């Protein structure tokens, strides 16, 4: 437990999956950051000649809308990451709050909160999200898309956190704290948070990849703001202009490959961190030293 | 005994575990009519074998009633600054403020009494910040360091995680933590369990030192008669949810009146005595299904017919009281009437 952040990272890097995921994610984030230095506004059309193959000037060619594919991709990855981060972080806040209150408070508040949580778990999420996205279609931007996904992405993790709190509540140190007159808020925020934080982080990654996938689905259906380049809208435009039929692989494969890399990076990172957090699998992997 | 001297008083306390079982409810009478008065500046020992209700009595005394435990009857009065109040009449908020500052609790020295993922000093700080605000937390923390030093514990424990401390050290830290805010009453629930005799001695000494310097009250629950003989000023013997004998420790060890107490004390080894030790025959009764009359009668070699029919009342002679028909006033008359 006394391990520093550095040695934790070192241990994680012993897993090739984490190393690959980390490097991939770093590259993708670099690409996203590069979008700040883009020569053109990504929402404008015809800033470049149309349908060019990759060349020195346009590394990944240009689209039928006269946009540079490379710079489009940079914006797309940035916006997709922002949407998924908003969705992930906001839903983590909801999940932690619901999990802590339901788990610690118990009784009636637990039953009410878990009724709502179970409701969110069983309703067909996709249909509801599509419906809501249609309702607020005019106001769809990266923030509203992120929030919309956040509202539906917390239920499972709230249950996971509640389960952890239920176990913590019965431990002896909780009794020591209460009989030393700890406030409920202090107990939960200071004594329980160290247990909840790793859980929140490992579920954050899963939730982010879910949000990216969901955003792409909504875009393909045409329910997000088509003017904002994301991985989803980029793919949608490519399909719209028959990029596959016209064999403009540079255009259509860019968002596809980027999202594949992003999913692999997030998934491997999540798997390897979860394994690291679970001492049993860690011993299997690292061996007993 | 002057009334002003009493810091904790319980009257006819009954706390039962009410369990839902198929076909109805099962009641475990863990504390069944206990009346005690604990004085200021004393170590009050509660002794008894496993399952006699000692720990439940403690819970009832420090108002830690959680389902399925229920307070059926009676209440607990504390005296603070000359005023007596009913602990069960307090609001949650008032009760929270009293905890640790007025009544502190020393948990059994198990692995998990401290949060295993934070350092001891964080635990200190977290607990302090619930009672104090802002800057004073840091000032109190400095005081806590002095306090730990005075108690003879190394300051390095503050930077340790709970698992890095030995069982005995963890227990001593728990005691030091409980005593930090100079509480008037300290509850110690089996503080020496799972410690070897040498470490036990250190823990007991620490409790004794704290009591001597603070002049407060310690209520000590343990089944270890040796510990009681060492530090308790007064001793209560508990059997099947009741206090069957109470008195000054020395008096009880010298002149045990209840047959059960006699068994307890005679089973202790003594220097120079090589005869075989006799323990009480049989098993303690189930608290869910107590025998009629005196709960000890099935195991008592001196049982009389009346013991199977009626519960004995406590007979007081000076400081020493006992609940046994052998010592009941006018028992000859009753005995004659029944036979």
Q: Do B127 and A180 touch (CB under 8 A)?
A: yes
Q: Do B105 and A186 touch (CB under 8 A)?
A: no
Q: Do A176 and B113 touch (CB under 8 A)?
A: yes
| pLDDT at B144 exceeding the cut of 90 | no
- Nearest chain B residue to A188 by CA distance is B126
| pLDDT at B330 exceeding the cut of 80 | no
Most confident of A77-91, B131-145, B290-304: A77-91
Q: What is the pLDDT of residue A1?
A: 43
Query: Comparing A287 with B166, which gets the higher pLDDT?
Result: B166
Residue at token pair 């000037």: A57
Kindly state the tokens that stand for A79.
Answer: 């916006």
- Nearest chain B residue to A195 by CA distance is B117
In sequence order, what DSSP letters do the residues of A49-118 get, joined into one string?
-SSPPS-SSSTT-B-TTS-BHHHHHHHHHHHHHHHHHHHHHHHHHHHHHHHHHHHHH-HHHHHHHHHHHH
- Residue A91's pLDDT band, with cuts at 50, 70 and 90, is very high
Contacts across the A-B interface (CB distance below 8 Å): 72
Question: What residues of chain A, 162 to 181, have a C-beta less than 8 Å from chain B?
Answer: 171-173, 175-181
Instruction: Return mean pLDDT, chain B.
Output: 87
Q: Do B130 and A195 touch (CB under 8 A)?
A: no
Q: Do A173 and B116 touch (CB under 8 A)?
A: yes
Q: Do B177 and A195 touch (CB under 8 A)?
A: no
- Residue B281's pLDDT band, with cuts at 50, 70 and 90, is confident
Q: Which residues of A touch B107 (CB under 8 A)?
A: 172, 175-176, 179
Instruction: Return mean pLDDT, chain A.
Output: 88
Q: Which of A256, A258, A254, A246 is nearest to A50 (CA)?
A: A246
Other Cβ atoms less than 10 A from the Cβ of B49: the count is 17
- Nearest chain A residue to B98 by CA distance is A181
User: For the segment B22-39, what is each residue's pLDDT rounded down to a tens digit?
Assistant: 888 889 999 998 999 999
| pLDDT at B210 exceeding the cut of 80 | yes
| pLDDT at B157 exceeding the cut of 70 | yes
Give the range among B78-87, B106-115, B302-311 with minimum mean pLDDT: B106-115
Q: What is the pLDDT of residue A270?
A: 86
Q: B43 φ, ψ to 5°?
A: -105, 115
| pLDDT at B338 exceeding the cut of 70 | no
Identify the residue among B99, B127, B134, B176 best suited for mutation to test binding to A, counting A beta carbons within 10 A and taking the highest: B127
- What average pLDDT score do residues A104-128 get? 92
- What average pLDDT score do residues A258-280 get? 86
Domain limits of chain B? 3-102+183-338
Topology of domain B3-102+183-338 in CATH is Rossmann fold (3.40.50)
Give the range among A126-140, A216-230, A275-289, B169-183 with minimum mean pLDDT: A275-289
Whether A4 contacts chain B with CB within 8 A: no
Q: Do A180 and B62 touch (CB under 8 A)?
A: no
Of A180, A191, A195, Cβ closest to residue B100: A180
Q: Do B112 and A183 touch (CB under 8 A)?
A: no
Q: Which of B191, B250, B184 is nearest to B220 (CA)?
A: B191
| pLDDT at A287 exceeding the cut of 60 | no
- What average pLDDT score do residues B219-246 get? 92
Q: What is the pLDDT of residue A283?
A: 67
- What average pLDDT score do residues B67-76 get? 90
Identify the residue among A8, A180, A183, A189 best suited for mutation to test binding to B, counting B beta carbons within 10 A and taking the highest: A180
Helix (H, G, I), strand (E, B) or coil at B322: strand
| pLDDT at B277 exceeding the cut of 90 | no
Give the relative orientation of helices A16-34 and A249-277 as an angle to the nearest 10 degrees.
130
Kindly state the tokens that stand for B116.
Answer: 């295993």
Question: Do the Cβ atoms of A120 and A157 come closer than 8 Å?
Answer: no
- Nearest chain A residue to B116 by CA distance is A173
Most confident of A58-62, A88-92, B301-305, B329-333: A88-92
Q: What is the pLDDT of residue B339?
A: 46
Which superfamily does CATH assign the domain made up of A69-253+262-286 to? MetI-like (1.10.3720.10)
- Nearest chain A residue to B159 by CA distance is A2
- Residue B333's pLDDT band, with cuts at 50, 70 and 90, is very low
CA dist B121 and B108 (Å) reads 20
As a whole-number percent, the residues of chain A with pLDDT over 90 amount to 46
Of A2, A182, A194, Cβ closest to residue B130: A182
Buried b (16+ CB within 10 A) or exposed e, B71-100: bbebbbbbbeeeeeeebeeeeeeebbbbbb
Of A1, A2, A181, Cβ closest to residue B131: A181
Query: Comparing B209 with A7, which gets the higher pLDDT?
Result: B209
CA distance B71 to chain A (A): 18
- What average pLDDT score do residues B300-327 get? 88
Query: Comparing A38 with A212, which gets the higher pLDDT?
Result: A212
CA distance B277 to chain A (A): 37
| pLDDT at A2 exceeding the cut of 50 | no
């Amino acid at each position: 437990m006394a391990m520093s952040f550095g040695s934790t990272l070192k241990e994680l890097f012993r897993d090739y999956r984490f190393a690959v995921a980390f490097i991939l994610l770093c590259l993708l984030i670099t690409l996203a950051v590069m979008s700040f230095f883009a020569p053109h506004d990504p929402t404008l059309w015809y800033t470049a000649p149309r349908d060019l193959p990759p060349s020195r000037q346009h590394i990944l060619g240009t689209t039928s809308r006269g946009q540079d594919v490379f710079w489009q991709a940079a914006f797309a990855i940035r916006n997709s990451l922002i949407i998924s981060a908003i969705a992930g972080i906001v839903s983590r806040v909801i999940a932690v709050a619901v999990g802590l209150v339901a788990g610690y408070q118990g009784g009636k508040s637990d039953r009410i909160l878990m009724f709502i949580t179970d409701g969110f778990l069983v309703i067909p999420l996709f249909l509801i999200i599509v419906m809501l996205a249609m309702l607020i279609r005019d106001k769809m931007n990266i923030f509203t898309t992120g929030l919309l996904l956040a509202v539906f992405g917390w239920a499972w993790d709230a249950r996971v956190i509640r389960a952890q709190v239920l176990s913590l509540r019965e431990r002896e140190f909780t009794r020591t704290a209460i009989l030393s007159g700890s406030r409920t808020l202090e107990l939960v925020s200071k004594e329980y948070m160290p247990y909840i934080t790793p859980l929140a982080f490992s579920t954050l990654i899963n939730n982010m990849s879910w949000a990216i996938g969901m955003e792409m689905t909504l875009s393909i259906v045409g329910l997000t703001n088509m003017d904002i380049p994301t991985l989803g809208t980029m793919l949608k435009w490519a399909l719209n202009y028959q990029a596959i039929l016209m064999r403009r692989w540079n255009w259509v494969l860019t968002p596809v490959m980027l999202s594949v890399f992003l999913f692999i990076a997030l998934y491997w990172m999540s798997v390897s961190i979860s394994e690291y957090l679970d001492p049993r699998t860690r011993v299997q992997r690292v061996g007993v030293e | 005994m002057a009334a002003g001297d009493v810091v904790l008083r319980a009257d006819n306390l009954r706390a039962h575990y009410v369990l839902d079982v198929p076909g109805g409810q099962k009641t475990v009478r863990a504390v069944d009519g206990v009346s005690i008065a604990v004085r200021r500046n004393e170590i009050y020992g509660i002794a008894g074998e496993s399952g006699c209700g000692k720990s439940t009595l403690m819970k009832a005394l420090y108002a830690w009633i959680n389902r399925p435990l229920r307070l059926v009857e009676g209440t607990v009065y504390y005296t603070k600054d000359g005023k007596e109040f009913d602990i069960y009449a307090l609001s949650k908020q008032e009760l929270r403020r009293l905890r640790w500052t007025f009544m502190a609790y020393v948990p059994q020295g198990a692995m998990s009494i401290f949060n295993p993922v934070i350092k001891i000093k964080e635990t200190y700080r977290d607990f302090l910040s619930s009672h104090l605000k802002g800057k004073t937390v840091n000032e109190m923390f400095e005081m806590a360091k002095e306090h730990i030093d005075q108690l003879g514990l190394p300051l390095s424990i503050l930077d340790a995680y709970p698992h890095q401390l030995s069982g005995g050290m963890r227990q001593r830290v728990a005691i030091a933590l409980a005593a930090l805010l100079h509480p008037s009453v300290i509850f110690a629930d089996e503080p020496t369990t799972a410690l070897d005799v040498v470490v036990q001695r250190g823990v007991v000494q620490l409790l004794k030192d704290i009591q001597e310097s603070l002049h407060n009250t310690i209520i000590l629950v343990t089944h270890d008669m040796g510990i009681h003989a060492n530090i308790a000023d007064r001793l209560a013997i508990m059997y099947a949810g009741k206090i069957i004998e109470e008195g000054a420790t020395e008096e009880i060890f010298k002149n045990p009146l209840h047959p059960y107490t006699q068994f307890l004390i005679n089973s202790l080894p003594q220097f120079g005595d090589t005869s075989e030790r006799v323990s009480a025959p049989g098993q303690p009764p189930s608290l869910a299904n107590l025998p009629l009359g005196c709960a000890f009668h099935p195991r008592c070699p001196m049982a009389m017919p009346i013991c199977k029919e009626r519960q004995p009342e406590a007979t007081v002679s000076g400081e020493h009281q006992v609940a046994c028909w052998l010592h009941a006033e006018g028992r000859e008359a009753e005995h004659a009437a029944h036979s």
